[in-house]
Structure 1
């Protein structure tokens, strides 16, 4: 094997896809589920990097803006343009002049297409578009495009494309040790967490793309020095649209100068994020009362008429950002850029970075691996092949083609007995793979009934198991459907029948069934119950 990637988040998935399409033999091992760490707990935006303008990081804005368009064209089913309004107020961080100039520069740097370039609104227009905004001191608003995504499904679709091209991807496969020969890293010991068996994987090159766990693996390699990770925590709160009927996505600054998003999505409104240093359990970051109250205060500050209360929180999620801190520098100088570290043993680590930049990060890692392999073996590899490569589900003819695809498939779905809304949901979730889900829905209604499962739930679950390596209830309810965050009542309604079916398919013992059920229950509880302190 040429390359073993440790970590099945967006970075690991991107590296696997880039490497396999250049002709390398590739495997990915992930100790949890794909996207279970940072890659399912972001703000769920493919950012254009507007806030980097404030720090004059021109190159970042330019690259990130262009990447955003590529991510969209290669998977228009999981990424959608979202018009964002940036209101400005007397005494706020942004004013009409600076916002207009900033957005104009942003449009230019990010290569924003004509139909999506910024416009500026007078206060009356801004209030008309979002009546819940604070009126007092409003001076107007900027209006520009961000892209919203389903981060976990984006990761899955990139990983599935790598697998379709020949990569091996395994979840619940935890690296316990690195294997060395003559001082060079040549493989890993890994435990299959589904059955406790130990495995060995050998590769010419090993890349550590473990997100918040990057330093844990660098420690195993004895190479954690110089620059290290500083984990910061971000939380998002979810409300039902009836309680917080936001019509328009808003990006606003808080009294302490932080920027917060409020975004309407599928009958809900979600708001975030916080940014606090995190020192707790990496696998299970939790929302504290202070985190929740910070976001509630931000909502109250910008949307005073909503009169938001703690009991209005329907669900939440908590994620970690693996940022890079240099020894001897202050925490305020933490970098959000990605960096590559190569240790004396040849162990390659990638840390930092953002969801939007995943493809470029992958390209730089695989360029490095290709160069090393060329030096060591004489083999030649082409440059990156992913710029115009649709991800799994993305074979719909780009963003324009997706509109026609959607109309056609909605008709197909209605013919099968789905409502228009149900059909749209499935098409947005699965893109060009939706036919497989439709077939299961149509052909296996009797099995669904026998298993006490709603036929749509059954079709999604069967697809998740057969094509997306879902193994535990949390894989299905969080990463494959996003329901624990955006439709927690749906989870409550279908939880028992889904678990019973999965237990049967995977032949779980009673202990396993209890463990996996408890795991889901704990996460459902955590989503609605903040803790006192970390």
Structure 2
């Protein structure tokens, strides 16, 4: 396969997008394309607003693609007595898994090992997982206690030395990068104008009010501007940096906590995840993910440049050490590591350890009228988008009707379909000689939903696009072309880390990266 046979009109599309962004006045300019920015852009566009969204890097290119990949109620919140929060999280979790993104959000059993001398007893944990299940109306079954032998069948690497019992419950997981891209696509399909790799150089003001931004396209260096009635700062760890562009004297509003994760190969397939108690309040996760095991996370204050966040040797030591509380040593061999990543939680400013800080959304308005929002998590990202829209109603002249219905209550993300049904179609509905491998078909169905049929059509037209990017992984070259032409992928990392699973599997070899770069630049 050569790049020359797969030419793209991506530069012309970006030029057209810049022209659209520079034309007229938007109701809302969202700066930042992570969890919060994409959710607000989707929500506001559904509400009928003319919305623009830009990001200095890739969509979900920072913290929003560096999460623990969970859509969960938050079992540990029961420890602090926050039953209402758990119930709210459960409602949104089940909505995402049943109505909004069942093709992207997957059920996963979770196990809590209870060891002699550990921070929790069997009776307490048994009651906790039962209450946790009750708060979800037992929609995923009933929390219960398992024997060590039963648990070992679900999680082969579970450490059984000193293991008294295992509490079992249910939650969900997802690929956060794919969720982000699908949400951006949903916003764009609804009318939002979006552009990644577009850096804000400064804010535009009119009579002291922030009314837009001046930007530079990092792809070709062109400068352009956007006018808007209201500007929303949703830049995550950079939220205070943008606030200081509005007001150089703005005091810090948030603090940052680093969460690091490791991805390891596992010799045996795991059917359940582990929630390993570290102490009375903290836990460490071991989660089956993309055929690997995802370990983490850390929770330590971070005061450096957000662009410099990364995994350091002490993070690896801590994560493997905490995982060893519940996992046998052979499964934690450092040679099994294929990838590591770190992100920054944005927490409310204040005293105390970051591990005890509230995981809540911080909303503020600057003296120039710019609204800033930070915090939140994937499980409730739609709810946060709705809440921010309500704040917009309070502080601006943006035309929101008072009787506006919740625009996202039942609106699904693109590709809504049963992965099982899509997999069968991909395998069966093929001409002889162009059938997809069942592993590839399942991979496409569970990452694109019904949009996988578009990828299959690309392979039907050009069979070489059905070649695997790396023989040890399920991703195919059609995904790179699709990412470039329909999912805003510009850089190699956009395509290999956030549109496909090549990087997290440790398969982004020099040859793979070179071929990907050629395709993206074709």
TM-score, length-scaled by structure 2: 0.88
Aligned equivalent of 2:514: 496
- The structure-2 alpha-carbon separation of the partners of 1:55 and 1:492, relative to structure 1 and needing over 3 Å to count, comes to farther
Aligned equivalent of 1:386: 408
Residue in structure 1 matching 2:442, options 402, 413, 424: 424
Question: Does the CA contact (< 8 Å) of 1:66 and 1:111 recur in 2?
Answer: no
C-alpha deviation, 1:211, in angstroms = 1.0
Write the distance in 2 (CA, Å) between the matches of 1:376 and 1:419: 50
List aligned pairs for 1:38-437, cutoff 5 A. 38-73=63-98, 74-113=100-139, 115-222=140-247, 228-242=253-267, 246-254=270-278, 258-306=282-330, 308-326=332-350, 331=354, 333-373=356-396, 382-394=404-416, 396=417, 401-412=418-429, 416-437=434-455
Gaps in structure 2 of 5+ consecutive residues = 1-25
List aligned pairs for 1:15-30, cutoff 5 A. 15-30=40-55
C-alpha deviation, 1:409, in angstroms = 3.5
Q: Secondary structure at the match of 1:484?
A: coil
C-alpha deviation, 1:104, in angstroms = 2.3
Aligned equivalent of 1:529: none
- The structure-2 alpha-carbon separation of the partners of 1:185 and 1:95, relative to structure 1 and needing over 3 Å to count, comes to same
Deviates more, 1:248-257 or 1:39-48: 248-257
- The structure-2 alpha-carbon separation of the partners of 1:289 and 1:390, relative to structure 1 and needing over 3 Å to count, comes to same
Write the distance in 2 (CA, Å) between the matches of 1:407 and 1:448: 17
Write the distance in 2 (CA, Å) between the matches of 1:223 and 1:333: 30
Comparing both structures, which one devotes a greater share of its residues to helix? 1
Write the distance in 2 (CA, Å) between the matches of 1:192 and 1:410: 41
- The structure-2 alpha-carbon separation of the partners of 1:414 and 1:334, relative to structure 1 and needing over 3 Å to count, comes to farther
Residue in structure 2 matching 1:460, options 475, 479, 496: 479
Write the distance in 2 (CA, Å) between the matches of 1:185 and 1:419: 53
Question: Does the CA contact (< 8 Å) of 1:218 and 1:224 recur in 2?
Answer: no
Indicate the RMSD between aligned Cα atoms, in angstroms.
2.7
- Is residue 2:465 matched to residue 1:441? no
Question: Does the CA contact (< 8 Å) of 2:53 and 2:194 recur in 1?
Answer: yes
Write the distance in 2 (CA, Å) between the matches of 1:190 and 1:245: 47
Deviates more, 1:296-305 or 1:72-81: 296-305
CA deviations on 1:239-284 (whole Å, 9 max, x unpaired) are 1112x76453111112686311111233311211111111233123
Write the distance in 2 (CA, Å) between the matches of 1:47 and 1:135: 26
- The structure-2 alpha-carbon separation of the partners of 1:381 and 1:475, relative to structure 1 and needing over 3 Å to count, comes to farther
Deviates more, 1:377-386 or 1:15-24: 377-386
Write the distance in 2 (CA, Å) between the matches of 1:376 and 1:129: 52
Q: Secondary structure at the match of 2:517?
A: helix
TM-score, length-scaled by structure 1: 0.86
Write the distance in 1 (CA, Å) between the matches of 2:82 and 2:176: 24
Q: Secondary structure at the match of 1:465?
A: helix
Gaps in structure 1 of 5+ consecutive residues = 506-534
- The structure-2 alpha-carbon separation of the partners of 1:307 and 1:29, relative to structure 1 and needing over 3 Å to count, comes to closer
Q: Secondary structure at the match of 1:356?
A: helix
- The structure-2 alpha-carbon separation of the partners of 1:456 and 1:483, relative to structure 1 and needing over 3 Å to count, comes to closer
- The structure-2 alpha-carbon separation of the partners of 1:118 and 1:448, relative to structure 1 and needing over 3 Å to count, comes to closer
Question: Does the CA contact (< 8 Å) of 1:300 and 1:306 recur in 2?
Answer: no
Q: Secondary structure at the match of 2:284?
A: strand
Question: Does the CA contact (< 8 Å) of 1:86 and 1:252 recur in 2?
Answer: yes
Deviates more, 1:299-308 or 1:83-92: 299-308
Aligned equivalent of 2:499: 480
C-alpha deviation, 1:122, in angstroms = 2.8
Aligned equivalent of 2:21: none
Aligned equivalent of 1:525: none
Write the distance in 2 (CA, Å) between the matches of 1:108 and 1:422: 37
Q: Secondary structure at the match of 1:283?
A: helix
Q: Secondary structure at the match of 2:128?
A: helix
Deviates more, 1:29-38 or 1:343-352: 343-352
- The structure-2 alpha-carbon separation of the partners of 1:94 and 1:409, relative to structure 1 and needing over 3 Å to count, comes to farther
Write the distance in 2 (CA, Å) between the matches of 1:489 and 1:446: 19
What is the aligned residue count? Answer: 493
- The structure-2 alpha-carbon separation of the partners of 1:409 and 1:116, relative to structure 1 and needing over 3 Å to count, comes to farther
